[in-house]
A and B are shown apart, each in its own frame.
Chain A
Amino acid sequence: ILNVEQSPQSLHVQEGDSTNFTCSFPSSNFYALHWYRWETAKSPEALFVMTLNGDEKKKGRISATLNTKEGYSYLYIKGSQPEDSATYLCAFSLMNNNAGNMLTFGGGTRLMVKP
């Protein structure tokens, strides 16, 4: 079983603060790294998929970077808003996995933004 670690487990910030969290994954045989946002009482929703070392993706105030050589990805939120409150999940898949590139999920970072 692959180990995908996310830190911190939870984070409380004030509205307007910028924040970032980390996803660590095995650096060998990398295929793809996914980020999902999971709001309470809703389904997890895909944010980004990254495949290349050095990839940077951006969606509004949220951006992500990828370092496949050292096995980490950062998710940044600029100027956090209360509607950003959610659990952010990362998921990793291996190349040429006999299981068909299945995703292994981290435990998530729970972000709470206070107005």
Chain B
Amino acid sequence: DGGITQSPKYLFRKEGQNVTLSCEQNLNHDAMYWYRQDPGQGLRLIYYSQIVNDFQKGDIAEGYSVSREKKESFPLTVTSAQKNPTAFYLCASSVHSGETQYFGPGTRLLVL
């Protein structure tokens, strides 16, 4: 069954803590993306990767970091520098950048 998985579904972060959100795809897609959604707002691009071992900042990259060591995996770390991390995070992938994106189920991050 091909698709994108994200884990965990819910994540709690303590003050000053770094947390990592997982995103895995078995669609053999080159491009992967991380978005953030806040209540009443659209999806905003955090980071994207057009190909393995390469990634670029999106519109709101401050306080986040990513890696793309494997084609299937694009984990997102929310660092302590991100002052307002509470949001819903969506991961997506596409065959190539700019093409139709396929989304994971999302991770909701809450701050304790």
Contact = CB atoms under 8 A, between A and B. Distances in A.
Interface stretch (B13-21, B37-45, B66-74, B76-84): B37-45
Contacts of B31: 100
Question: Nearest 6 CB-CB pairs, A to B?
Answer: A101-B98, A100-B97, A43-B103, A107-B42, A105-B43, A105-B42
Contacts, number: 57
A62 interface: no
Interface in B38-64: 40-45, 48, 50, 56, 58-59
A79 B106 CA distance: 31
Q: How large is the interface on B (under 10, 10 to 19, 20 to 34, 35 or more residues)?
A: 20 to 34
B42 A34 contact: no
B8 interface: no
Interface residues of A, number: 26
Contacts of A71: none
Nearest to A104: B45
A107 B31 CA distance: 23
A105 B4 CA distance: 20
A44 interface: yes
Nearest to A94: B98
Given A99-B56, A100-B50, A102-B97, A46 B102 contact: yes
A89 B98 contact: no
